[in-house]
Amino acid sequence: MNPVVQQLLTLLAVVLGAGSTFAATTLTERAKWRRSQDTRWDDKRLAAYSEYANALKQYVQVSYRLAAARGYPAVAQPIETEAGLRALADAEAEKTIKWEAVLLLGSPEAVAAARAWNRAAWDLGWPARGHAVEHAEYIRMYAEMGRRRNEFYECARADLGVRSGELPPGDQPWLPPASGEAAQPEVI
């Protein structure tokens, strides 16, 4: 074989090898970067979801306490009305602040579920603010709020890739237990 052709083939092999190495390294680094970004955003989504959920649960807890003070069935300790309304306004402000992160980072399904949970919590807050509703309607609103909460958690867990199974159903502690069971209050 001609020495010039042999040198060209060797040079071509070196260029192809270098190009292949460069391409493989670039693809590997790009995949690492994407995984790093996905992890980063998952951490931020987890924080956004949990902070919003905690803020909304604080709002709901104050609503329960106010409703208990107004004679509605609740497992929460009643709170003095004026102090409770101030606490409810503070909880509403905190929930509003935490909402922004969910809106920015959450999946469309989780955002929709968060909105539905927020609406159900808001409805549950009406009796706490002094708007009269029947006790049966209050219990229905409580159950709806719990259902919406679970839907939010299911959507958030799906968005975060949690694959440990479905959430177990919650109880309504002030309802009579079914078939002689002892009532177990759920911590909400």
Per-residue pLDDT tens digits for 81-126? 999 999 999 999 999 999 999 999 999 999 999 999 999 999 999 9
Angle at 188 between CA 152 and CA 70, to 5 degrees: 115
Q: pLDDT grade, residue 144 (50/70/90)?
A: very high
pLDDT tens sequence across 145-154:
999 999 999 9
pLDDT tens sequence across 50-83:
999 999 999 999 999 999 999 988 878 999 999 9
How many other CB atoms sit within 10 Å of the CB of residue 188?
Answer: 16
pLDDT tens sequence across 36-50:
665 668 889 999 999
> Is the pTM for the entire model greater than 0.85?
no
Read out DSSP for 121-182? HHHHHHHHTT----HHHHHHHHHHHHHHHHHHHHHHHHHHT--S-PPPPPP-TTSPPGGGPP
What is d(CA 171, CA 76) in angstroms, rounded to the nearest whole number?
A: 15
Q: Which amino acid is at 22?
A: F
How many other CB atoms sit within 10 Å of the CB of residue 30?
Answer: 10
What pLDDT score was predicted for residue 179? 43
Average pLDDT, the chain: 85
Max intra-chain CA distance, the chain: 102
pLDDT at 172 over 80: no
Residue of higher predicted confidence among 120 and 167: 120
Specify whether the CB–CB gap between 33 and 43 falls below 8 A: no
What pLDDT score was predicted for residue 53? 97
pLDDT at 185 over 70: no
What pLDDT score was predicted for residue 100? 95
Domains of the chain and any CATH numbers: 41-162 (1.20.120)
Instruction: Output the CA torsion 98→162→155→124 (10° steps).
Output: -60
What pLDDT score was predicted for residue 56? 97
Specify whether the CB–CB gap between 126 and 137 falls below 8 A: no
What pLDDT score was predicted for residue 176? 42
Q: pLDDT grade, residue 173 (50/70/90)?
A: low
What pLDDT score was predicted for residue 39? 61
Closest CA to 60 of 128, 7, 3, 132: 128
pLDDT at 187 over 50: no
